């Protein structure tokens, strides 16, 4: 069964510093992987996703993530943090039982809250 682990429930960085949010997944099949962001008092918004093809995926607001099969990781990065990046970030994996299968539900990690210090 698929699962997601996000390392660190809280991450704090200074404005202008590198943002690195860690996500490891477990999947017996090629995964579909997602990062969502939740700003205060809002719903979840898709940041980026990996399905097939290029392993470095670029998303909105300057974020990117790299799919590393050998490490079963999909870490989210941004070179320079901005105050507006303060939010909670969720990594998710699709629960397809086999490639091209019919289930397609998302399994979410518990989230990482990012704080940005001035």
Partner 1 sequence: DADVTQTPRNRITKTGKRIMLECSQTKGHDRMYWYRQDPGLGLRLIYYSFDVKDINKGEISDGYSVSRQAQAKFSLSLESAIPNQTALYFCATSDFRAGGTDTQYFGPGTRLTVL
Q: How far apart are CA 98 and CA 22, in angstroms?
A: 25
Number of CB atoms found within 10 A of residue 36's CB: 21
55 interacts with partner 1 by CB under 8 A: no
Quick count: other Cβ atoms within 10 Å of Cβ 112? 20
Indicate which single residue of 3, 8, 9, 68 sits in contact with partner 1 (rule: CB under 8 A): 9
Sole binder of partner 1 in the list 7, 17, 29, 44 (CB under 8 A): 44
Distance, in Å, from the CA atom of 26 to the CA atom of 28, rounded to the nearest integer, reads: 7
* Cβ-based nearer residue to partner 1, 40 or 118: 40
Contacting residues toward partner 1, per CB under 8 A:
9, 32, 34, 36, 42-46, 49, 51, 90, 94, 96, 100, 102, 104-106, 108-111
């Amino acid at each position: 069964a698929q699962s997601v682990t996000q390392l660190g429930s809280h991450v704090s960085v200074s404005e202008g510093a590198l943002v690195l949010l860690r996500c490891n997944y477990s999947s017996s099949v090629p995964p579909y992987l997602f990062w969502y962001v939740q700003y205060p008092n809002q719903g979840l918004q898709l940041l980026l996703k990996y399905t097939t093809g290029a392993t470095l995926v670029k998303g909105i607001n300057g974020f990117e993530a790299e799919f590393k099969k050998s490490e079963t990781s999909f870490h989210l990065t941004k070179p320079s943090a901005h105050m507006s990046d303060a939010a909670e970030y969720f990594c998710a994996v699709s629960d397809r039982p086999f490639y091209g299968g019919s289930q397609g539900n998302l399994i979410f990690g518990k989230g990482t809250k990012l704080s940005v210090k001035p």
